[in-house]
Structure 1
Amino acid sequence: MKRASSSPGFKEASGAFGFAGDATDAAPHWSGHRERLRTKLLNRGAGALDDYEILEVLLMAFIPRRDVKPIAKALQAKFRTLSALLAAPAEEMVKVDGVGETVAAYLKAIAELNSRAAREEIKAREAISSWSALVEYVRREIQHEAREQFRVLFLDRKNQLITDEIMGRGTVDHAPVYPREIARRALEVQCSSLILVHNHPSGDPKPSRADIDITREIIDVLQPFDITVHDHLIVGTAGVVSFRSSGLI
């Protein structure tokens, strides 16, 4: 009997992902592995899975007819950490054999879900009272950015997040920051305080002299409006440095 052609819904799986069709009617070797992995997840919880196995579970949904274990391990090898993978541009993801634009889009959607969930957690409580949640949020957002990014977390009178906005994008070692523009935006959103955040693409979060000077300028500009700068966080892959904890403000 002539084999029916693949349905249009699996066009990417059979093209971009290199699926060539089963040689026989027998179940492929990886189908049992998928079932065992699903059972492990459901019975023992996601915490029982290694990072590459979590990736496998996700890829199983996106790539229905291919052994995804090699793809998961290739993603892990290229990006090393899950946070780096989810922060990576889609054009970097598709360089991994077996990853097409659809899979990259799904992974970026998952990354956005993580960011929004973290943002909701910050909004639901006082940002400055939940240090671990705040640090996790800012690390997830910018620790893997290839260029410097200066962000401001604008807070209300209860120190809850009003909005998190990018106020400057720059090069690998500098992002332009305009204190008066930050003051203008703070008045627009009617914030009572704020937290400054920027990243060091080098990975080292140690503050530079320029970081210290710009922080002082922003504090001075906001002082007449009675708007407090609670902290300035510098984020790198090596960690997060707090100006307040370091005695710099």
Structure 2
Amino acid sequence: MAGQNISHEGHRQRMRARVEQYGLESLAPHEALEYLLYITNARRDTNGIAHALLERFGSFAGVLEASEEELCRVPGVGPASARMLHLLPEVSRYYEHSRTSTEGALTTTERLAAYLKPRFAGAKQEKALLLSLDSRSRVKSVYWLKEGNARMVSLEVKDVVSAALRGGTESVVLCHNHPNGVPLPSREDLAATENIVRALGLVKIRLRDHIILAENDYFSMRESNRLPFYDFETGAMLRPYGRE
């Protein structure tokens, strides 16, 4: 029995590695069901259950469209597995609606600032974060970059680029706060932003804005024409009006 358990665990690990590398579409229908059933069967061999489900309902889609009561009639399928399989089409529909919806889209600077302000509320030190936005301007991920002191936060360009790449999008927003209540960029802020724009441009990521927050106000480098622009095609940096 111990040898069987070791063999089965090895099979699960190989299956997970395959899905991670090639995606769920690389699996046959019975393998996809077997893989999904891992969620509700921590140690059990689910291969036989997957075959029984396909034999009973005819196809992968047929299994997911079956009722929970029908699923539970298949040997080895308990209430938790039946509920999980039955919910998958609804989860897919919910996901698709969320993915295509514009609800929650941060399409204006005001919306961006309103989203960011609560995350810096009460902060006594300067700190910085990076938002990754999808093609519809919705937040895909949030990365806290660094916390400094009451007067400054020093950002490493490589850390910003690394966070942007992890975000997996082509558009990011940088934000940091000024606890002293004045949301105007310093010379250091402007120079750091230019270096970040250039570094992100090299990996084809656009810095959509750099927003500085104070307690009751904010400053947008884009709206104030202080945000440099990196031309992906030529590699040229176009500096804001009035800057050399």
**TM-score normalised per structure 1:** 0.48
With a CA cutoff of 8 Å and minimum separation of 6, indicate the structure with the bigger relative contact order.
Answer: 1
